Amino acid sequence: MRYVQPAPDLSVSSIALGCMRISQMENDQVRALIETSLESGVNFFDHADIYGKGQSEVVFGKALKSAPGLREKILIQSKCGIRTGFYDSSKEHILTSVDNILLRLDTPYLDVLLIHRPDALAEPQEMAEAFAQLKTQGKVRYFGVSNHNPAQMAALQQAAQDKLLFNQLQVSLMHTPMVDQGINVNTQFDGAVDRDGSLLAYCKQQGVTVQAWSPFQFGFIKGVFLNNPAYPELNKALLDMAEKYEVSIAAIAAAWILRLPVQMQVVVGTTTAARVADVTKAADITLSREDWYALYRAAGNKLP
């Protein structure tokens, strides 16, 4: 397993387990999933207060309680800020959300808290006050955001005492606007459109770790592109690379993301222990520049 270090005292696995789909699993299944992930080198588990309407955190917490000592071996991240019909990054909501998250997980602290979506009414100073209070109370160790652009991050960082360590963003072979913009600089091609303020370059510059969500999806959670007949050229290229590097096509798709020149985590949302072990092999390989670009082109992208 490859690890990245967002902070001097924080080492996180480059493959993280996303826990959105575990809400209906039995306790022994969740515990096995956690333990198998650890055996594969995964030490980072991603939650959000809306996953399973909170039930994903509940079942995860119960699994931890059934295995004394397991909590100290792992890093738990959760997110807050999405409410029914609106976003809420107010100080009151952040503080209340964290208290509820900790109750559901049955743990005294979170390793990482992310603000899930940008709130158009957010006040950075108010958010920073919430972060400072949570840190002082020992409820959250580190902070970050999800789906925020550089200007939004900079405004919050200016107010916050602690460095924002993470930004969780949609990245996959079939979702590459952040990559396209960098490649198509100073052209009139569609890929040159800057939709997010050069996010990858900003995160690289600021030392922010990018967490890739939906690493195997196309569109906005429209489906999986792996083995999808709608994408024959890409899947042929993935299969060729899988044979070359002696891993699965899922591991190749994850390795493509990890090859980006920024501190990167791939968040894999699976409920199958064997799938976790399979995808973690991505951390053991480094795609050549030629192979990385071959996959990028096979996904339908053209170089200027």
246-285: pLDDT as tens digits: 999 999 999 999 999 999 999 999 999 889 999 999 999 9
Residue type for 198, please?
S
| Torsion sign, CA atoms 131, 135, 138, 140 | positive
CATH class of 3-298: alpha beta
Separation CA 31–CA 158 (nearest Å): 40
- Catalytic residue list contains 51: yes
What is the pTM for the complete model shown? 0.96
What's the confidence (pLDDT) of residue 220?
A: 81
What's the confidence (pLDDT) of residue 4?
A: 96
What's the confidence (pLDDT) of residue 39?
A: 95
What's the confidence (pLDDT) of residue 219?
A: 84
Helix (H, G, I), strand (E, B) or coil at 187: coil
Of the residues 3, 51, 142, 231, only one is catalytic, namely 51
The kind and range of the H/E element at 136 are helix 124-136
Residue type for 195, please?
R
Tell me the average confidence (pLDDT) per consecutive run of 10 residues in the chain, 304 residues long.
96 98 95 95 98 97 94 97 98 98 98 98 98 98 98 98 98 96 93 93 97 94 92 98 98 98 96 92 97 98 95
**Calculated CA dihedral for residues 216, 219, 221, 224, nearest 10 degrees:** -40
What's the confidence (pLDDT) of residue 221?
A: 75
Domains in the chain: boundaries: 3-298
Residue type for 133, please?
Q
Pair 298, 237: CB distance under 8 Å: yes
Beta strands in the chain (DSSP E): 3-7, 10-13, 15-18, 44-46, 75-80, 82-83, 86-87, 110-115, 140-146, 164-170, 209-213, 217-218, 223-224, 264-268
**Calculated CA dihedral for residues 167, 260, 204, 284, nearest 10 degrees:** 80
pLDDT tens track for 49-78: 999 999 999 999 999 999 989 999 999 999
The kind and range of the H/E element at 250 are helix 249-258
What's the confidence (pLDDT) of residue 36?
A: 93
